[in-house]
Each structure stands twice: as structure tokens, then as C-alpha cells.
């Protein structure tokens, strides 16, 4: 299934994308796409519905983040060896974990506001894991059983704040709207192999990133198990899993985002995001 949330920011309703690409309203079935709705039983209930019996949602509606009730937005750094190389960093021996503020969560096509003192905002196409059932110190063998599905994420990053201002990476990763997720949550049963997904990002029509989850250093099951040792993961929590090469930081000379640009961000089978960059007030 492709599950989504639509409507104005803060007032999104749950929905489902049917086989024709039409959005169907789920608000008469579940209050939102979070909590128990993301469990195996909750997803099975939604999968058993006949989409044709659900109300049609008008085309062109805004999409929000595809899950509700997120408590933890966890990110993994330098999880592609070729991206580590372009960043001038050593390949990590264990996953690098940092947190993105929940303010960063945004819809897949929302404008991205560049803060007035940002000079080095950058892009990162990433595979996002959405947790469906609570995971606390789970084994790698059990890890995928806690995954509701997957989505596209753009881990927008302010490199000066991340790398040149001391302390942890979090402040360079947490500007408002710097974590668009979606357009959909694609349930795990529809993703045959999360370690074989082509992914890409275009800036103003130019392909900047062109990679695959095949080159992850730490795979999905490893990441879920590892993160759950340190952070209890709850339904609706998101782990965004690192980016392949082609970020602005790695270019010679570096290239960074400025207001007035358009990004398109996609992962095969998981959909495409389109974002305009605008100057923040």
C-alpha cells in the first residue's frame, strides 16, 4: 500500500493512493496514520479495504509527512562509503547517529525556507525507515518485523552549522522544514529489497545524485537494531539512513542551495518529491 496524509499543515488527514493514482480518504477508518494504525494488524486492516469504497480526494491537494505521532527523527551519517570519501571522512566502524528536530518534518512538496544566515545549505536524498511497532534493544533478526514501511527523505543540511560551528551535527540538520518526508509511506510488503533501490536528486533539472541503497555501509536491519539499543523506537518514528555521493559539499568548488531553486528527489518505487527553495522571512 501507499499511505499518505493530506491537507493543511497541522491538520492533515489520512489517505491511501489507489491503483489509478487517486487519493482516497481514510479518515472514516482511522483517525490518523500513527500508533496502532502502523502495526501489522493495523496495516492488514487497511490492506483489506476496497479503495473504490473510500471517498475520493480532490487532485492537487497538499501532502504532508506520511506518518503522524513521530517522537524520534533519527538520522544516520556517512552511511555510504563513496559519500564518506567525497566528504573527506573516514568510513565509520559503527553507525553515526544524530537527531533531527521534529520541526524539520515537512511535506514532500513544501517550500524549503533557507534561513537568512545560511550560506551552506545542502541536499541529501535518503531512504527513510518508518517504525510500525515499538523497538527496544531488538536483534538484527527481528528488526525488519518492526518496520511499517519506507519513504523518501531529503535530509537538508546546513554545512557551516553542522561542521564549522563546534559541537554535534544536530544544529546543522534542524532548521524548520529541513526534513521533508514522503510523498507516501510504502508498506514493507511492497518493497522487495530495501537494499536494492535506485535513488537520485536533481537541482534545477541537473542530476546531482545518482546512487543506490546497495552501497549502504550499514543496512536497514542493522540500523534498526543498532538504534534501538540506544533510543527506544515507537510507531511513527523515522530513521533516515544516509545519502550517496553528489552532495554540494563534495563538489569542487562546493555548491550550495540558494533561494529560487527547484529540487526533485526520488527513490524507485517510493515516489518523487519536488521542493522550491525560498528565502525565510
pLDDT digits 0-9 by tens, 80-128: 987 777 777 788 999 999 999 999 999 999 999 999 999 999 999 999 9
- Residue 61, in any domain of the structure: no
Average pLDDT, the chain: 96
Query: Between the CA atoms of 34, 36, 37 and 41, what dihedral angle is there, to the nearest 10 degrees?
Result: 150
User: pLDDT tens across 46-56, in order?
Assistant: 999 999 999 99
The angle subtended at Cα 110 by Cα 107 and Cα 111, nearest 5°, is 150
Residue 44 maps to a domain: no
203 pLDDT band, cuts 50/70/90, is very high
The H-assigned helical ranges of the chain are 40-47, 81-86, 140-143, 159, 170-173, 220-230
What domain range is 142 assigned to?
68-279
At residue 15, the pLDDT reads: 98
What average pLDDT does range 129-141 have in this prediction? 98
Cα–Cα nearest to 133, from 53, 213, 44: 44
* Residue 50 near residue 168, CB atoms below 8 Å: no
Q: Would 265 be classed as within a structural domain?
A: yes
CA distance 102 to 105: 6
Closest CA to 186 of 114, 143, 128, 227: 128
Domain count, the chain: 1
Q: Residue 89 belongs to a domain with what CATH number?
A: 3.90.850.10
Whole-angstrom Cα distance, residue 38 to residue 148? 6
Q: Can you spell out the DSSP letters for 4-58?
A: EEESSTT--EEEEE-TTS-EEE-TTT-S-SSGGGGSHHHHHHHHTS-GGGSPBPP
pTM: 0.96
Q: Is position 59 within any domain?
A: no
* Domain assignment present for 15: no
In a domain, 119, yes or no: yes
Burial class (CB in 10 A: 0-12, 13-18, 19+), 7: middle
Radius of gyration (Cα) for the chain, nearest Å?
A: 18
Q: Is 274 part of any domain?
A: yes
Amino acid at each position: 500500500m501507499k499511505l499518505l496524509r493530506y491537507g493543511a499543515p497541522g491538520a492533515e488527514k489520512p489517505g491511501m493512493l489507489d491503483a489509478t493514482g487517486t487519493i482516497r480518504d481514510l479518515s472514516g477508518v482511522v483517525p490518523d496514520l500513527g500508533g496502532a494504525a502502523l502495526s501489522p494488524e493495523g496495516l492488514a486492516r487497511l490492506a483489506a479495504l476496497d479503495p473504490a469504497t473510500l471517498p475520493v480526494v480532490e487532485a492537487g491537494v497538499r501532502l504532508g509527512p506520511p506518518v503522524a505521532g513521530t517522537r524520534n527523527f533519527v538520522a544516520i551519517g556517512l552511511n555510504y562509503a563513496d559519500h564518506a570519501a567525497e566528504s573527506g571522512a573516514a568510513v565509520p566502524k559503527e553507525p553515526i547517529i544524530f537527531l533531527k528536530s521534529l520541526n524539520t518534518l515537512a511535506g514532500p512538496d513544501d517550500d524549503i525556507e533557507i534561513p537568512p544566515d545560511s550560506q551552506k545549505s545542502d541536499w541529501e536524498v535518503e531512504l527513510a525507515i518508518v517504525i510500525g511497532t515499538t523497538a527496544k534493544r531488538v536483534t538484527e533478526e527481528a528488526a525488519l518485523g518492526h518496520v511499517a514501511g519506507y519513504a523518501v527523505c531529503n535530509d537538508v543540511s546546513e554545512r557551516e552549522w553542522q561542521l564549522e560551528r563546534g559541537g554535534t551535527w544536530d544544529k546543522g540538520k534542524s532548521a524548520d522544514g529541513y526534513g521533508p518526508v514522503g510523498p507516501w509511506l510504502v508498506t514493507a510488503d511492497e518493497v522487495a529489497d530495501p537494499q536494492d533501490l535506485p535513488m537520485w536528486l536533481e537541482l534545477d533539472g541537473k542530476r546531482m545524485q545518482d546512487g543506490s541503497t546497495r552501497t549502504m555501509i550499514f543496512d536497514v536491519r542493522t540500523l534498526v537494531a543498532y538504534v534501538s539499543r540506544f533510543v527506544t523506537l515507537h510507531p511513527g518514528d523515522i530513521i533516515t539512513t544516509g545519502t550517496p555521493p553528489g552532495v554540494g559539499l563534495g563538489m569542487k568548488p562546493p555548491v550550495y542551495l540558494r533561494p529560487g531553486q527547484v529540487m526533485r528527489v526520488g527513490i524507485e518505487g517510493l515516489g518523487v518529491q519536488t521542493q522550491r527553495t525560498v528565502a525565510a522571512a
